[in-house]
Amino acid sequence: MSGPGGQVIEPRTRTARDAARARLRARVARRWMATVTTYFWIACGSALGGMSRFWCSGFVAKRFGGTFPWGTMLVNVVGSFIIGFFATLTGPDGRLLVSPNARQFVMVGICGGYTTFSSFSLQTLSLLRDEEWLLAGLNIVLSVVLCMLSVWLGHVAASNLNELQGA
């Protein structure tokens, strides 16, 4: 189609198609930014959790010695309490409404960076290789039992807080 002076005029469908593509590109860009933002908050939480783990494990090792991995156990027990408490407090029936990014910052980022199942496994392997059978078994049993107890206590504490009236 030609207009005055020989200018080419595109059919209307072309403009509608361009607008649809622009909307699609904008939607994809928003999703991409939301994903990048989520990863950013998880990375920040992981850094905070990792630094906290490093400090806490070192503090406990200096106070109680490094023969038995008390620092790793303490970190895992405390982390289990925190994730149990926060998951319940901010869950669908929880008292505190937070964004999905805030939940991921705490539960995936901070707790993921703070708790140390890989360290637990390596330290237990080291105890086994040193033929410290009793200490290795104690580490396994205490870690599992105390972490399960701790995550349950966090859940119970947040459930009780959720049921409080007037706040």
Binding-site positions for Na(+)? 112, 115
CA distance 52 to 59: 10
What is the residue type of 93? Answer: D
Annotated binding site: 112, 115
Q: How far apart are CA 76 and CA 124, in angstroms?
A: 14
Mark 35-44 as b/e (b = at least 16 C-beta within 10 Å).
Answer: eeebeebbee
What is the token pair recorded at 115?
């708790």
Asked if 45 and 109 count as a contact pair (C-beta separation under 8 A), the reply is yes
- Among 116, 119, 52, 115, smallest CA distance to 82 is for 115
98: left (phi over 0), alpha (psi -120 to 50) or beta: beta
CA–CA distance, 62 with 65 (Å, rounded to integer):
6
